Amino acid sequence: MAKKTIKKKVYQYTAIFEPDKQTGGYTVTIPSLPGCISEGDTFEEALKNIKEAVTLYLEVMKKEKGEIIKEEGVIIAPIRVKV
């Protein structure tokens, strides 16, 4: 019997990596996915961990809501303010 191949879609999200001055690692958030956060001791570890967190987040979202949030129209820009 042939195995059935399940096609998976590829989704892209903006990840924000913030250095943690206390640990020397990184905290990572995905603004389009509320509550999706991870961390790692190195950038590479933080990247691996956030990819896993996003995958699990989306799997639960698809199972519970039947759909996945797509990131649309995100603009990231530095701003300056005077204080």
Structural Rg of the chain based on CA atoms? 16
- Domain ranges across the chain: 11-83
- Percent helix, strand and coil across the chain, each to the nearest 5: 30, 15, 60
- Report how far apart, in Å, the C-alpha atoms of 40 and of each of 11, 12, 17, 20, 78 are: 22, 20, 10, 10, 25
Residuewise pLDDT in 10s, the chain (83 residues): 667 777 888 999 999 999 999 999 999 999 999 999 999 999 999 999 999 999 999 999 999 988 898 888 888 889 999 99
Q: Which CATH class, in words, describes the domain spanning 11-83?
A: alpha beta
